[in-house]
A and B are shown apart, each in its own frame.
Chain A
């Protein structure tokens, strides 16, 4: 036990991620090379909906992690992404085949707005007519897939990750944006730091390319109309929509040591604050890397730069996730934290990194990570 008031030191012993560039190492390499996966996007769910900038997740398969095809049928796209990234984090931590230790894992997940399985709903509507009410509703709904409700329930990413991997600990699923992704990360941090759980899996998953959340974000003026706008190079600003998932496996130093696990990073603090403006970082050595997500325009770009400078980071240390990989919404804090942990674990990695995620509804998340002392 170490740290403030007898709290346990918290390590990141596993990371898992999937987005437009693929997995974690590929994503970090792409960001460092300035390679963008953001492109013009038209939703296939509607004819003629306006084009936006987006970064769809690279194709994936779950079969090596979840051989049970029947279980896969319960999964929405967001749930499938969550199961994928969570499985990668468990594998990275060396826990995937360790049924006994997995049973102790606490699980905190954040998810975004749902897509409502529109293909099913519109099919039902074509039979039942406007409003989907009255006698005709039953006829319309008879056409729907019996698993449709499972794909719409917001708690399913949590339940399905737990079922896929046998996680039985303390848990919660939060909703809908980066702030709640930060709350999930904070809850996991507290569960381990307080000693309630030896290890916790925290992360998020979103399918921001479904028509319903896309239309909601579009109406709110949050979506960039082009990759240039998403990079805030044409003055219009906005976010590139994405579907993505990321998880980090947090573990107390004692629990990690007991099983001989290596740390990718030390997580020293997580703050998820509902008020505008990012939390000020704690004092410490200057961060060599600041991963930022959720900036919508030149003004918030400048705020990110100010935060990095305030913390003592050199200008080149600021790495923006969204213009190159899309905005991961509820998964943004875990995405930034996972990428920071990967960078810190590299032989030539920095000693300290900050992960920052702004919420378009207000609020911000800051995760403070440090490299494990190198031998």
Chain B
């Protein structure tokens, strides 16, 4: 069986752009949550989010030819994805990219993303009394740059990433919502393990911090309304939690067949050991009673990694901060880890960066690499009052030094998709 190394990483997050800044944010237990600045959210029940600041959009879109460039500059999430992918590629291969070591036909891209961008301001001038003037809309669409008006397909960033990587093998764009980032990385892992590719840029990018995104989640009553708490609003596992806080950003890794990575003398950050995905098949917005889907996803990931539950040193939880998710995930962890769950550190980085939806699993995998590389567990910040139904060690408020060899990272989606990844320090054969 071929083994899969992680030889590059890139992050755009609300606590820092670039892996060093993201790691510093985790080390300092900083929050990226604050009042929404991307648009005027005054009338909404939720007016806070974890937004990205400090990304040089023009630099991220460099080398992208028109007409794609104009569209890219109107799509924050695609810019995040491309910036993170460039960082991961440079980390893995330097300035020359994968070319010197891998033929394009052996390089793939497997990325996750969220909803398309709907530029309401492009439609608004053509709406009168609830009807759309189609002739005027058609004229406006025809006059606008291709691909950058009204609706921007969500795979725009994925295509830019594939061009940047020179990838001609697998090209997969996963839109499984909150589980998408982990699933995309899992698909990259399978592609390398099973021989379909030798290197894959895998991860996720997303931003739903826009009028329709925030308003939509408000309609679902999924978001925290603790606007006054600001940076303390994202409170996974806390008794006072009242929903998740939207985040935005991107996480990308370069996966590479271990033998090829070693042959070229690459630095191996970690080894991707296993992946499992399942469906609840229950209800659209509720976890299934008994948590069978989440349990099966974790068990499959561990089995694929050839590990027992006792081999895991830390769990990066899905940990959204909703009333239903956190106790359900806690019960699922207790079922998988048994008595060892009492000694198992579990934390939610969503307390710091919010819920990045399609990018969540990918950025959280990079947070798991942080735990392995720095031997430090990221904290669950804003955890003040214990919820009796959430009774694990959540690494409250302060990062903790620990011996970390293997990490399980969970992602569970709205609609019932579950995904788990297992990542570990590179082990040498006996």
Partner of A46, one of B134, B154, B196: B134
| Structural contact, B417 and A155, CB atoms closer than 8 A | yes
Q: List chain B residues, Cβ under 8 A from A212.
A: 118, 150-151
B43, CB-defined interface residue at 8 Å: yes
A287, CB-defined interface residue at 8 Å: no
A274, CB-defined interface residue at 8 Å: yes
Q: List chain A residues, Cβ under 8 A from B132.
A: 45-47, 49, 118, 122, 211
Partner of A215, one of B41, B120, B137, B282: B137
| Structural contact, A47 and B133, CB atoms closer than 8 A | yes
Q: List chain B residues, Cβ under 8 A from A363.
A: 171
Type the 1/0 row for A212-236, where 1 means its CB is closer than 8 Å to any CB of B: 1101101110000000000000000
Type the 1/0 row for A34-66, where 1 means its CB is closer than 8 Å to any CB of B: 000000000101111110000000000000000
Most buried by A among B39, B127, B279: B279
Q: List chain A residues, Cβ under 8 A from B136.
A: 48
A1, CB-defined interface residue at 8 Å: no
A111, CB-defined interface residue at 8 Å: yes
Interface residues of B in 378-430 (CB under 8 A from A): 413-417
A361, CB-defined interface residue at 8 Å: yes
Chain B nearest CB from A170 CB (Å) reads 5
B95, CB-defined interface residue at 8 Å: no
Partner of B211, one of A132, A156, A166: A132
Q: Say which one of B3-11, B24-32, B212-220, B344-352 lies at the interface with A.
A: B212-220
Most buried by A among B147, B153, B296: B153
B270, CB-defined interface residue at 8 Å: no
Q: List chain B residues, Cβ under 8 A from A273.
A: 168
Cα A150 to Cα B221 with chains together (Å): 12
| A166 closest partner in B (C-beta) | B281
Q: List chain B residues, Cβ under 8 A from A272.
A: 171
Chain A nearest CB from B218 CB (Å) reads 7
Q: List chain B residues, Cβ under 8 A from A134.
A: 40, 42-43
Partner of B115, one of A114, A126, A146, A183: A114
Cα A86 to Cα B279 with chains together (Å): 16
Chain A nearest CB from B132 CB (Å) reads 4
Interface residues of A in 126-177 (CB under 8 A from B): 126, 129-139, 141, 144, 146, 148-150, 152-156, 158-160, 162-163, 165-176
Q: List chain A residues, Cβ under 8 A from B413.
A: 155, 159
Given A46-B137, A166-B281: A171 in contact with B154 (beta carbons within 8 A): no
Q: List chain B residues, Cβ under 8 A from A183.
A: 170-172
Interface residues of B in 166-225 (CB under 8 A from A): 167-177, 180, 183, 187, 190, 194, 196, 211-212, 215-220
Type the 1/0 row for B92-132, where 1 means its CB is closer than 8 Å to any CB of A: 00000000000000000000011110101101111101111
Partner of A111, one of B45, B114, B138, B175: B175
| Structural contact, B43 and A176, CB atoms closer than 8 A | no
| Structural contact, B115 and A154, CB atoms closer than 8 A | yes
Cα A43 to Cα B149 with chains together (Å): 19
Cα A329 to Cα B1 with chains together (Å): 36
Interface residues of A in 267-304 (CB under 8 A from B): 272-275
Cα A166 to Cα B281 with chains together (Å): 5
Cα A141 to Cα B194 with chains together (Å): 48
| Structural contact, A219 and B149, CB atoms closer than 8 A | yes
Partner of B279, one of A74, A144, A171: A171
Q: List chain B residues, Cβ under 8 A from A123.
A: 130
Q: List chain B residues, Cβ under 8 A from A218.
A: 138, 141
Most buried by B among A133, A172, A174: A172
A336, CB-defined interface residue at 8 Å: no
| A133 closest partner in B (C-beta) | B40
A190, CB-defined interface residue at 8 Å: yes
B284, CB-defined interface residue at 8 Å: yes
Chain B nearest CB from A71 CB (Å) reads 8
| Structural contact, B43 and A136, CB atoms closer than 8 A | yes
| Structural contact, A47 and B135, CB atoms closer than 8 A | yes
Chain A nearest CB from B154 CB (Å) reads 6
Cα A69 to Cα B126 with chains together (Å): 35
Type the 1/0 row for B80-100, where 1 means its CB is closer than 8 Å to any CB of A: 000000000000000000000
Interface residues of A in 79-123 (CB under 8 A from B): 103, 107, 111, 113-114, 116, 118, 121-123
| Structural contact, A174 and B121, CB atoms closer than 8 A | no
Chain B nearest CB from A102 CB (Å) reads 9
| Structural contact, B133 and A48, CB atoms closer than 8 A | yes
| A184 closest partner in B (C-beta) | B172
A125, CB-defined interface residue at 8 Å: yes
Chain B nearest CB from A262 CB (Å) reads 26
Partner of A47, one of B131, B167, B180, B296: B131
Q: List chain B residues, Cβ under 8 A from A113.
A: 116, 151, 153
Given A47-B132, A154-B154, A176-B154: A171 in contact with B417 (beta carbons within 8 A): yes
| A274 closest partner in B (C-beta) | B171
Cα A123 to Cα B132 with chains together (Å): 10
| Structural contact, A163 and B278, CB atoms closer than 8 A | no
A180, CB-defined interface residue at 8 Å: yes
| Structural contact, A174 and B44, CB atoms closer than 8 A | no
B62, CB-defined interface residue at 8 Å: no
| A154 closest partner in B (C-beta) | B175
| Structural contact, B124 and A190, CB atoms closer than 8 A | no
Cα A324 to Cα B176 with chains together (Å): 32
| Structural contact, B153 and A216, CB atoms closer than 8 A | yes
B283, CB-defined interface residue at 8 Å: yes
Cα A21 to Cα B334 with chains together (Å): 52
Q: List chain B residues, Cβ under 8 A from A274.
A: 162, 167-169, 171
A187, CB-defined interface residue at 8 Å: yes
Q: List chain A residues, Cβ under 8 A from B59.
A: none
B51, CB-defined interface residue at 8 Å: no
| Structural contact, A190 and B194, CB atoms closer than 8 A | yes
Chain B nearest CB from A124 CB (Å) reads 8
Partner of A176, one of B133, B153, B167, B212: B153
Given A47-B132, A125-B120, A173-B174: A133 in contact with B216 (beta carbons within 8 A): no
A sample of 9 inter-chain contacts (CB < 8 A) reads A118-B132, A132-B212, A137-B41, A155-B417, A172-B176, A173-B174, A173-B175, A176-B173, A183-B171
Extra contacts besides A49-B132, A146-B219, A212-B151 (20): CB < 8 Å: A46-B131, A48-B138, A49-B138, A50-B135, A103-B281, A118-B132, A121-B123, A126-B127, A130-B121, A131-B211, A146-B220, A158-B415, A162-B280, A163-B280, A163-B281, A163-B282, A173-B174, A215-B141, A216-B147, A274-B171
- The 3 A-B residue pairs whose C-beta atoms are closest, nearest first, are A159-B415, A49-B134, A46-B134
B residues contacting A by CB (< 8 A) are: 39-45, 113-116, 118, 120-121, 123-127, 129-138, 141-142, 144, 146-147, 149-151, 153-155, 159, 162, 167-177, 180, 183, 187, 190, 194, 196, 211-212, 215-220, 276-284, 292-293, 296, 413-417
